[in-house]
Amino acid sequence: MSNGALGNPEVLPCGHRGCTAAFAEQWNTWPNVVTAVRTIATVVAWGVAVTTGSDAWLLAALLCYWVGDIADGLLARVTHRETRTGAVLDVLADRLSVCLVVVSYVSRHPSAAGPAAVFLVQFVVLDAYLTLAFARWSLLSPNYFGLVDATVYRLNWSPPAKATNTGAVVLVWLLTGSTLAATVLATVVLGVKAYSALRLTRLPVPRVLSGCAVLDVRPAVSPRY
Ligand SMILES: [Zn+2]
């Protein structure tokens, strides 16, 4: 434990990376510090944007969120410091950051209200519901949801899905300025989230968490002692 940040836990009791069995849950980790810093930076940039009426500062707030969100997740994975607490804090910080930026942007640019409304329903309600659902199983974060359901994982938390779900609508809006294109894309993502939520409701939820997500899902066929 004491011989360096990368010294733990490569060998897990069940052999899966992403199961909870080998991890001690804690909140005081460097990735969580990064989550706190990037959220404070986003709120400060948003505050400047609101005070000055500057769209550039609003974009800066969005970039603080985006870059920081990639950084905290990457740091957690690379240094093996992923925790369930961190995953939940990350979800909440994301919703706060995105809501501040989007609502302020729409108040200045009412033409964005349509795609923004669809996007917010998708991101703040459906995506938050889906992202927090990992805690029903013995998983460290949604990044390992493939151990429970490969389709829901691919549609929501594989690298291309993540990029599309959070960034595509904003990018299309900023690059094309097309309300129709942004609304259509936001609706497609909303559809993917609705399908995923429906699929999630059909998955059996374990009564007791075993520490291994694969055992949670298939207790009948896996050996238990
Ligand atoms: Zn496992």
Q: How far is the CA of 220 from the centre of ligand 1 (A)?
A: 15
In tens, the pLDDT along 97-151 reads: 999 999 999 999 999 999 999 999 999 999 999 999 999 999 999 999 999 999 9
> Which pTM does this prediction carry?
0.86
Cα of 160 vs centre of ligand 1, distance in Å, is 25
From ligand 1's centre to the CA of 150, what distance in Å?
15
Q: Give residue 218 CA to ligand 1 midpoint distance, Å.
A: 11
Residue 5 has pLDDT above 50, yes or no: no
Give the DSSP per-residue string, the chain: --S-TT-S-SS-SSS-TTBSTT----S--HHHHHHHHHHHHHHHHHHHHHHHT-HHHHHHHHHHHHHHHHHHHHHHHHTT---HHHHHHHHHHHHHHHHHHHHHHHHH-GGGHHHHHHHHIIIIIIIHHHHHGGGGTTBSSGGGGGGT-HHHHHHHTSHHHHHIIIIIHHHHHHHH--HHHHHHHHHHHHHHHHHHHHHHHTSPPPSS--S-HHHHH-TTTS---
Say yes or no to pLDDT of 23 above 80.
no
- 21 alpha carbon – ligand 1 mean position (Å): 8
Cα 157 to ligand 1 centre (Å) = 18
Q: How far is the CA of 16 from the centre of ligand 1 (A)?
A: 4
- Mean pLDDT value of segment 74-87: 89
Model confidence pLDDT, tens digit, residues 60-80: 999 999 999 999 989 988 988
Query: What is the distance in A from the centroid of ligand 1 to the CA of 168?
Result: 33
Domain layout of the chain by residue ranges: 24-108, 110-218
